[in-house]
Amino acid sequence: MNIKNTPIYESHLRANARMTDFAGWNLPIQYTGIIDEALHCRKSVSLFDTCHMGQFSFKGDIRKSGIENAFCFPISDIKIGRCRYGFILNGIGGIIDDLIVYRIAVDELMIVVNAATTENDFKTIGQDIAGGCEYKNISDITAKIDVQGPLSRDLMAERFGEQIRSIPYFGFMKMNIMGRDAIISRTGYTGELGYEIYIDASAAAKLWDSLLEDERVKPAGLGARDILRLEMGYCLYGSDIDDMTSPIEADLGVFVVTDKEYRGIRGILQQKEQGVPRIRAGFITHSRRSPRHGYRIFHDDAMSGEITSGTFSPTLNSGIGMGYIDTALAKPGTKVVLSDGRVSIDAEIAEFPLYKKGTARNK
C-alpha cells in the first residue's frame, strides 16, 4: 500500500520532524522531543496535523433517510452548531469506529472518523441511508488542523475574530479563512482547551505555516498526542477499542442510548442487563517505568487482564496505561502488577482522567 502524505508534509520536513507510517499516512512522530511537545501543549498552544482523519458530508432528511440507524447515539436532536461523540457498531455491539457528528444545518451533517477506518465507515454508514440523499466522502479535499492548549482561545480569537470565544465545548462555527469556507470547532483530544480547523486541503500548508509564526505555538507530533490522550484516558481506535470491544466494556456506555434502533443494539442491551466480564480501566505505575501494549495485568498473582496502551506521563512523572481487567477488580486503588514476562511493574488502578487539570471544558 502506498503511504499517503498530508498537505502539510513539506512543512514537517522543513521542521526536521521524524516521520512515521500511521494508518497508511506519513505523519510526524516528533519534532524537538515528545516530552517537550506534550508539556508545551499543557501550558501554551500546540498544532497537530490531523489531515489524515476522514470526513463525510450528508444532506437530506435525517429522520426519513435512515442515517439515524447508523449511530448508537441520537443525531436528529443535535442542535445546529453542535457536535456529538459516539460510535458505529457491528451486529454484536463491537465498535466499528468512534467518531464525531457535526450538525451543520437541519438537513446537513459532517461526520469525522478515524483514518484507518474511513473507507469501511463510509460504506457501513451508507448502508443505512436511503436514496435521494447526498452522501459524500470529502476526506481528500478536507484538511484538519488541531490547535490545542490553554492559550489557544486567545490565539484563535486574535487570529480569526473575537466571535471564536463564544464557541462552546462541542460546538462549532462556520467562518471564512484565507478566502475559503472553513469550520472551527471545539472538541479536541488532548484534554486542553482547543480548536479544530477544517479547511480546503489546498489552503492547509499556508494556514499551518502562518499559525506557527506566533511565538506561543509549536508543532506537536503523534508521540505527544499519544501521551496527552492517555493522560486523559481517551481511547485510540485499533489499540484500546476495536470491533471486538463494545462501548460497555470500554466503559463508554454514557455515549450509547437504548431507546432507538441501530446495528448492535441487542448486544448492548444484553451487556447492560447482564454486565460484562471485563472492563477498561486506567493504571498509574509506582515508578517511571511504563507498561506497553500487550503487557498482562496480574492481581494476587492471577492473570486478570491486558494493557492496551501505555506510556510515560511527564505531568504525573510516572508510567500510565489503560487496559481491560476483570470487572470485579476495576476499582480505583486496586494494586496490580503489569508484566510482559521480562519486566514487572507495580501499579494501581486510577480513575480517568489520569491528568485532572485539563482546560478543555473551561468556559
Partner 1 sequence: MQYPDQLRYSQSHEWVSADGKTAKIGISDFAQHSLGDIVFIQLPEIGASVKAGDSVCEIESVKAASSIYTPVSGKITAVNEALNDTPELVNQKPYDAYIFLVEMSDPSEMNALLDSKKYAELCEKESGAH
Residues forming the site for partner 1 (CB under 8 A): 29-30, 33-36, 223, 227, 287-290, 292, 311-312, 343
User: To the nearest whole angstrom, how small is the minimum distance from the Cβ of residue 31 to partner 1?
Assistant: 12
Helical residues (DSSP H) of 103-151, grouped into ranges = 118-127
Cβ closest to partner 1, residue 207 vs residue 297: 297
Measured between alpha carbons, how far is residue 75 from residues 72, 126, 264, 269 in Å?
Answer: 9, 15, 17, 20
- Minimum CB–partner distance for residue 283 and partner 1 (Å): 16
3-state SS assignment for residue 20:
strand
Q: Least Å distance between CB 19 and partner 1?
A: 10
Task: Please spell the DSSP secondary structure of 165-192, one letter per residue.
Answer: GGPPTTBEEEEEETTEEEEEE---SSSS
240-243 own/partner pairs: CB under 8 Å, 24+ apart = 240/280, 240/308, 240/309, 240/322, 241/95, 241/98, 242/94, 242/95, 243/90, 243/94, 243/95, 243/96
CB of 29 to partner 1, least distance (A): 8
Please give the DSSP secondary-structure letter assigned to residue 241: B
Report the SS3 class of residue 18: strand
Measured CA to CA, the distance from residue 168 to residue 248 in angstroms comes to 28
Minimum distance, C-beta of residue 208 to partner 1, in the bound complex (Å): 23
C-alpha cell at 225: 498526542
Give, in degrees to the nearest 5, the angle at Cα 243 between 241 and 247.
Answer: 55
Q: Indicate the residue among 29 and 284 with the shorter CB distance to partner 1.
A: 29
For residue 144, which of 27, 17, 58 has the smallest C-alpha distance?
27
CB-wise, 340 or 348, nearer to partner 1?
Answer: 340
8/227 with CB nearer partner 1 = 227
Alpha helices in the chain (DSSP H): 9-14, 34-43, 62-65, 118-127, 152-160, 204-211, 222-232, 265-274
Look up cell 449511530; give the residue. 71
What minimum distance in Å lies between the beta carbon of 227 and partner 1? 7
Cβ closest to partner 1, residue 223 vs residue 323: 223
Phi-psi region of 233 (alpha: psi -120 to 50; beta: other; left: phi over 0): left
Considering beta carbons, is residue 125 or 230 the nearer one to partner 1? Answer: 230
| 29 vs 201, beta carbon nearer partner 1 | 29
- Quick check: helix, strand or coil at residue 330? coil
Residue 33 or 332: which CB sits closer to partner 1? 33
CB of 362 to partner 1, least distance (A): 27
Q: How far is the CB of 34 from partner 1 (least distance, A)?
A: 5
For the CB of residue 289, give the shortest distance to partner 1 in the complex, in Å: 5
Minimum CB distance to partner 1 smaller for 290 or for 334: 290
Q: Can you tell me the distance from the alpha carbon of 15 to that of 349, in angstroms, rounded to the nearest whole number? A: 39
Give CA–CA dist 322/318, Å, rounded.
14
